[in-house]
């Protein structure tokens, strides 16, 4: 929206969990931003925390494609004026579609228009669909626009791709490489001993981590804490290892990233992002350290080629 446009009191709302902010989400959110611009209204992306599945089915934790902070960042990049996070509680899960429309859309967000995907469902036990929403829009004075789905693209499908290690297809469906974030912690320092010092990334619980294997991608500093400010925002091509490192027994599952050709980085305590571009190979147990080092050299060369 240009600086000369005056906003009226209402808003254009789009609704979803938006985990991953994938190509399908982007189509819906971008259309909401367009409608808001056309009507001189504020655009709002309404999302939920925690994931509704965790509340409706206690103990289920869908692997998260994006942290809440990253999800808001991606939505803001699409041009929305505000990201509203609704705490998803048992009480919220029990709202009827009519209650949701009245309490959340009409009263809280002052919706003048609601833009959703064709598979949108809402209210207790997902009782409401887009036709329900249209009828409620007539009652509460908001219009409804339904955006066609991007065929085959869903958060569930992307999680399955990552479970299979198919980072390249996941990146295509997301519209960018899949990102895992965390804090760099001290590991066994075996990479350093072998000449390939890695950032050992401690990820939050329920993060969607790709299948065990070696990947090409990037390592980026998101926040440096007490580290030199020159690291902040830096992004390096990387070779990434996920798994238990079968050549060394008894190692817990880790995500480790080696910034190509950098042996001078001291990132302990930094909040970093690891972006997965493509899988190079699965994990293998090597008969000797020399064979492992030779394979790492080959992995680094391939990662350099894929991230050039």
Burial readout 215-253 (b: 16 or more C-beta within 10 A, e: otherwise): bbbbbbbbebeebeeebeebebbbbbbbbebebeeeeee
Which residues are 178's β-sheet partners? 276
Q: Which of 64-73, 208-217, 240-249, 263-272 is the least confident region?
A: 240-249
The pTM (predicted TM-score) of the whole model is: 0.89
pLDDT digits (tens, 9 = 90+) for 78-118: 999 999 999 999 999 999 999 999 999 999 999 999 999 99
Map tokens 């809440």 to a residue.
68
Q: Give Cα 178 distance to the centre of its chain.
A: 7
User: CA 259, CA 233: separation in Å to the nearest integer?
Assistant: 14
pLDDT bin (cut points 50, 70, 90) of residue 253 is confident
Q: Compute the chain's Rg from CA coordinates.
A: 22
Which residues 6+ apart lie within 8 Å of 235 measured at CB?
A: 218, 219, 220, 221
The confidence score (pLDDT) of residue 287 equals 85
pLDDT per position as a tens digit, 224-252: 666 666 777 789 999 999 987 654 454 56
Question: In the predicted model, what is the mean pLDDT of residues 289-300?
Answer: 92
Residue 2 has pLDDT above 90, yes or no: no
Closest by CA position to 79, among listed 24, 34, 22: 34
Residues 6+ apart with CB under 8 A from 290: none
pLDDT (mean) for 289-296: 90
pLDDT score, position 224: 65
Question: Percentage of the chain with pLDDT > 70?
Answer: 90
| pLDDT classification of 265: cutoffs 50, 70, 90 | confident
Distance CA 217, CA 178 (A): 9
Read off the pLDDT band of 7 (50, 70, 90). Answer: very low
Q: How confident is the model at residue 4 (pLDDT cuts 50, 70, 90)?
A: very low
**Residue 56 has what pLDDT?**
87
At residue 138, the pLDDT reads 97
Contact assessment for residue 272 and residue 229, using Cβ atoms and an 8 Å cutoff? no
pLDDT tens-digit readout, 175-189? 999 999 999 998 766
In the chain, pLDDT over 90 holds for what percent of residues?
74
Kind of pairing between the strands at 11-15 and 111-117 = parallel
What torsion do the CA atoms of 153, 155, 158, 162 make, to the nearest 10 degrees? Answer: 180
Residue 192's pLDDT is 60
**Helix or strand (DSSP H, E) at 216:** strand 213-223
């Amino acid at each position: 929206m240009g600086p000369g446009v005056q906003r009226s009191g209402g808003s254009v709302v789009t609704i979803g969990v938006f985990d991953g902010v994938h190509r399908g989400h982007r189509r819906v959110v971008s259309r909401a931003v367009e409608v808001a611009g056309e009507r001189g209204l504020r655009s709002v992306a309404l999302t939920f925390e925690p994931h509704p599945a965790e509340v409706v089915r206690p103990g289920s934790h869908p692997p998260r494609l994006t942290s809440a902070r990253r999800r808001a960042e991606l939505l803001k990049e699409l041009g929305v004026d505000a990201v509203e996070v609704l705490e998803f509680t048992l009480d919220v899960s029990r709202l009827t579609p009519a209650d949701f429309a009245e309490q959340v859309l009409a009263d809280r967000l002052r919706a003048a228009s609601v833009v959703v995907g064709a598979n949108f469902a809402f209210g207790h036990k997902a009782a409401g669909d887009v036709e329900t929403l249209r009828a409620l829009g007539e009652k509460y004075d908001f219009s409804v626009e339904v955006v066609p789905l991007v065929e085959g693209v869903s958060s569930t499908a992307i999680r399955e791709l990552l479970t299979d290690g198919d980072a390249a297809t996941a990146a295509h469906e997301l519209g960018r490489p899949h990102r895992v974030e965390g804090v760099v912690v001290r590991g066994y320092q075996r990479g350093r001993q072998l000449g390939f010092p890695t950032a050992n990334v401690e990820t939050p619980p329920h993060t969607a981590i790709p299948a065990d294997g070696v990947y090409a991608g990037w390592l980026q500093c998101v926040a440096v804490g007490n580290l030199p400010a020159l690291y902040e925002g830096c992004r390096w091509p990387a070779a990434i290892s996920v798994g238990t490192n079968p050549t060394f027994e008894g190692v817990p599952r880790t995500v480790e990233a080696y910034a190509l050709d950098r042996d001078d980085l001291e990132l302990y305590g930094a909040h970093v992002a690891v972006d997965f571009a493509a899988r190079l190979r699965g994990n293998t147990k090597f008969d000797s350290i020399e064979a492992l080092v030779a394979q790492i050299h080959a992995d680094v060369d391939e990662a350099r080629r894929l991230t050039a």
